[in-house]
Amino acid sequence: MDDFPWLSLLIALPAVGALALALLPKGSDALAKRLALAISLVVAALTVVLAFRFEVGGPRFQFAEKYWWIKQFGVHWGLGVDGLALAMIVLSAILVPLVLLASWNAADRYGGAGEPPASAGDGTPARTRSAKAYFALILALEAMMIGVFAATDVFLFYVFFEAMLIPVYFIIGYYGGPQRSYAAVKFLLYSLFGGLLMLVAVIGLYVLSARPPAQGGLGEGTFMVDQLARLDLDPTTAKWLFLGFFIAFAIKAPLVPFHTWLPDAAGQAPAGALVLIVGVLDKVGTYGMLRFCLELFPGAAKWATPVVLTLAVIGIVYGAILAIGQIDLKRLIAYTSISHFGFIALGIFAMTSQGQAGAMLYMVNHGFATGALFLVAGFMIVRRGSARIDAYGGVQKVAPLLAGAFLISGLASLSLPGLAPFVSELLVLVGTFSQYQVAAVVATTGLVLSAIYILWAYQRTMNGPTADAVKGMPDLSRREVAVVAPILAIIVALGFYPRPVLDMVNPTVKQTMSRVQTQDPAPTVAEKGARP
């Protein structure tokens, strides 16, 4: 392993690219698009190279970098990836070029990005929005996504975690549908609120680590995750800190009582960006639960397990039921994701190796499956100018490729055996069943419900007599095929052969499992009452 700062390069490339795009003169949209695509492809290629150079069974954090950033606060520019982080980075880096390609002709059009044409009726020419800015924002988002997964310093993680909101906020608010500013503000405030609670917890960790070792500290304030894991926290403090982190991640993921921002954001955001928001960004929540909630506060995580499992199961069923009732395609997919995030949280907090491996695999698979669904939905919306399900009907007769792609990604989403999400969902359920039978049984109903929401949506949009408005709908263009084909190929490949990903994440599973198991059982109420 060489010392070349690969991860810094991965962050710097899209960041510099975004800046360069922003500085291009007006009217250079075509150049900007090509430049953005080229950069994202280079980043994707680099991450794939990294994935091959990653030594399974090697040191925990590989490609590690550590420099002082703000010495006064004990903050490092600390990067490094374990299997899970690298898997998430690869997922993001593969999705970004596809999203860019999918938004090629749609980003600058009102109506194209999921809003009915603004000029409808009054004869004024359709207004356009800057495609350049859209592509720059996506690149900026990519830099921050890679950073957030690669950070091994909690402060740095927090910086990326919060800074990431800004590009997303502008993407939703500037390129979204008619209710976009409401959705954007709701998204930002929800995330910011959670993030600020996390900030208190981050500060708390730092202050505790600065205490002398005799008081359970490290003698020197630090934010490095591996060092913070050595902190000897007293149970009450650990619970508070856990809550600070957990609420932030539960909002991000989103778990059920904190989820209402997602359907609104999904209803308004352009479909391309949704691939990244739901496919990658929300995974930061589940990633954070694994990396911070479980590793730093194993005792508190066990203490919270019953509540989290309950929320997760409620999310699985509730999200699925609401998905069935949606009339908007993008909102429907958003609710299915809430159901899927329930599965991921279930797997994480079941605290079995199978459950965790399943959850981690699910994080990757869900990114591809839901990403594909959003991309195809985006193609439909661009053609028809509406996201309402009842605006379609009989599409498969006029656009068989489109319908086929929708079907495959839909089937992936309902966990059909042979497609990637099946493996992960099965692992999660098996892992949960060995510990919490009731939760697993209730969660299984989610599978049945998922068949209803996907197949019914397919039936209403693709089957039946061809609606008049759909008649002239063109099938997938070559560009669009180039967007969906790779994702569908990955979904099928991982469905039959999930080994590579499982191998990558297994060390992470072992690590979290050992952290959770070696701790004392959660303190009882009596102990808590006895504390001064």
Partner 1 sequence: MNVTGVLAQNDIPAPHIEYGDVAPLLVVFGVAVLGVLVEAFVGRGWRYRVQVPLAFLGLVAAFGWTIALAARERPPHLVAAEGALGVDGPTLFLWGTIAVLALVSLLLIAERDQSHFTAQASALPGSEAEQETMAAGFVQTEVYPLMMFAVGGMMMFPASNDLLTMFVALEVLSLPLYLLCGLARRRRLLSQEAAVKYFLLGAFSSAFFLYGAALLYGFAGSVRLSDIATAISRNTGDETLLLAGVALLSVGLLFKLGAVPFHMWKPDVYQGAPTPITALMASCTLVSAFGAMLRVFYVALENLRWDWRPAIWAVAILTMVVGAVIAITQTDVKRMLAYSSIAHAGFLLTGLVATTTAGLSGTLFYLAAYGFTTIGAFAVITMVRDAGGEAAHLSRWAGLGKRSPLVAGTFAFFLLAFAGIPLTSGFTGKFAVFSAAVEGGATPLVVVGVLASAVAAFFYVRVIVVMFFSDPEPDGPAVVVAPTTVAAVALGLAATVVLGVLPQPVLDLAGQAAGQLFVR
In the complex with partner 1, the residue whose CB is nearer, 158 or 341, is 158
Interaction of residue 251 with partner 1, rule CB under 8 A: no
User: Strand, coil or helix: what is 516?
Assistant: helix
Q: Which of 362, 353, 372 is nearest to 415 (CA)?
A: 362
Among 4, 67, 73, 496, binds partner 1 (CB under 8 A): 73
Interaction of residue 430 with partner 1, rule CB under 8 A: no
Nearest distance from residue 169's CB to partner 1, in Å?
A: 8
- From residue 257, give the alpha-carbon distance in Å to each of 176, 241, 254, 342, 523: 25, 20, 8, 12, 26
Nearest distance from residue 260's CB to partner 1, in Å?
A: 16
For tokens 């990244």, name the residue: 276
Stretch 278-317: interaction string toward partner 1, x if CB under 8 A: ----------------------------------------
- From residue 408, give the alpha-carbon distance in Å to each of 47, 417, 480, 487: 27, 12, 15, 11
Interaction of residue 260 with partner 1, rule CB under 8 A: no
Interaction of residue 158 with partner 1, rule CB under 8 A: yes
In the complex with partner 1, the residue whose CB is nearer, 204 or 216, is 204
In the complex with partner 1, the residue whose CB is nearer, 13 or 391, is 13
Nearest distance from residue 118's CB to partner 1, in Å?
A: 10
Quote the tokens at residue 253.
């993921």
Interaction of residue 104 with partner 1, rule CB under 8 A: no
Interaction of residue 389 with partner 1, rule CB under 8 A: no
Interaction of residue 70 with partner 1, rule CB under 8 A: yes
Alpha helices for 131-234 (secondary structure H): 131-150, 154-163, 165-175, 180-209, 225-228
Quote the tokens at residue 359.
């959850």
In the complex with partner 1, the residue whose CB is nearer, 88 or 156, is 156
Interaction of residue 241 with partner 1, rule CB under 8 A: no
Nearest distance from residue 222's CB to partner 1, in Å?
A: 13
Residues between 162 and 201 with contacts to partner 1, criterion CB under 8 A: 162-163, 165-166, 169-170, 173-174, 180-181, 184-185, 188-189, 192-193, 196-197, 199-200
In the complex with partner 1, the residue whose CB is nearer, 159 or 481, is 159
The number of residues in the chain equals 532
Quote the tokens at residue 372.
């594909």
- CB-neighbour burial class of residue 510 (10 A; exposed 0-12, middle 13-18, buried 19+): middle
Q: How many CB atoms lie within 10 A of CB 426?
A: 16
User: What amino acid occupies position 10?
Assistant: L
In the complex with partner 1, the residue whose CB is nearer, 185 or 398, is 185
Q: Is the peptide bond before 254 cis (omega within 30 degrees of 0)?
A: yes
Interaction of residue 398 with partner 1, rule CB under 8 A: no
Contact criterion met (CB below 8 Å) for 323 and 259: no
Q: Which of 306, 332, 307 is nearest to 450 (CA)?
A: 332
Interaction of residue 246 with partner 1, rule CB under 8 A: no
Nearest distance from residue 13's CB to partner 1, in Å?
A: 18
Q: Which of 457, 347, 357, 356 is nearest to 407 (CA)?
A: 457
Interaction of residue 46 with partner 1, rule CB under 8 A: no
Interface segment toward partner 1; rule CB under 8 A; list 153-161, 276-284, 370-378, 385-393: 153-161
Distance CA 75, CA 71 (A): 6
In the complex with partner 1, the residue whose CB is nearer, 132 or 340, is 132
Among 61, 206, 287, 379, binds partner 1 (CB under 8 A): 206
Contact criterion met (CB below 8 Å) for 336 and 454: yes
Among 210, 321, 451, 481, binds partner 1 (CB under 8 A): 210
Give CB contacts under 8 A, 24+ apart, made by 63-72: 63/1, 63/6, 63/7, 64/152, 65/5, 65/7, 65/8, 66/152, 66/224, 69/153, 69/156, 70/155
In the complex with partner 1, the residue whose CB is nearer, 80 or 244, is 244
Interaction of residue 77 with partner 1, rule CB under 8 A: no
Number of residues that bind partner 1 (CB under 8 A): 33
In the complex with partner 1, the residue whose CB is nearer, 95 or 171, is 171
Cβ contacts of residue 369 below 8 Å, gap of 6+?
A: 409, 412, 413, 419, 420, 421, 491
Residues of this chain that interact with partner 1 (CB under 8 A) are 69-73, 158-160, 162-163, 165-166, 169-170, 173-174, 180-181, 184-185, 188-189, 192-193, 196-197, 199-200, 203-204, 206-207, 210
